[in-house]
Amino acid sequence: MALDWSEVKKKYGKGFMVPTIAGGKFLQISSVDDEAIYIESPIWKVKLHRTNIEKGVELIEDGTISRDPGLFVEDYMLYVANERATSVAHILRDLGILDHTETFSIRC
């Protein structure tokens, strides 16, 4: 199932508080356009590029990247981009693409 960007825009486009995977905090999405998801915090702003997020989802689907949130972050940085991989994990988990676990798996 490819990422439906129109659904991403519909859900997050006017701003949204995404729950973090652990810690009971929230990630503030300020907006979404055709190119990116924009996140703001009191001390930083970031643009998560659509092409990177979509590539990450494709690699999840083909089994290259793990659906486990902790392993996803490592894989995303390795195979896609070092572009706030943890923030991408929070969003993909909220969208139901990553597993809903709070534990961290270790690869041997």
| Whether the Cβ atoms of residue 87 and residue 77 lie closer than 8 Å to each other | no
| Whether the Cβ atoms of residue 53 and residue 88 lie closer than 8 Å to each other | yes
- In 3-state terms, what secondary structure has residue 56? helix
pLDDT of residue 9: 97
For the segment 66-105, what is each residue's pLDDT rounded down to a tens digit? 999 989 999 999 999 999 999 999 999 999 999 986 555 5
pLDDT of residue 2: 80
Helix (H) or strand (E) holding 37: strand 36-40
Query: Phi, psi at residue 7, to the nearest 5°?
Result: -70, -40
Give bridge partners of residue 26 from the DSSP assignment. 19
Per DSSP, the chain holds a count of helices (H) and strands (E) of 4, 4
pLDDT of residue 81: 96
pLDDT of residue 70: 86
Pairwise pLDDT comparison (27 vs 100), residue with the higher score: 27
| Whether the Cβ atoms of residue 39 and residue 29 lie closer than 8 Å to each other | yes
For the segment 42-74, what is each residue's pLDDT rounded down to a tens digit? 999 999 999 999 999 999 999 999 999 989 999
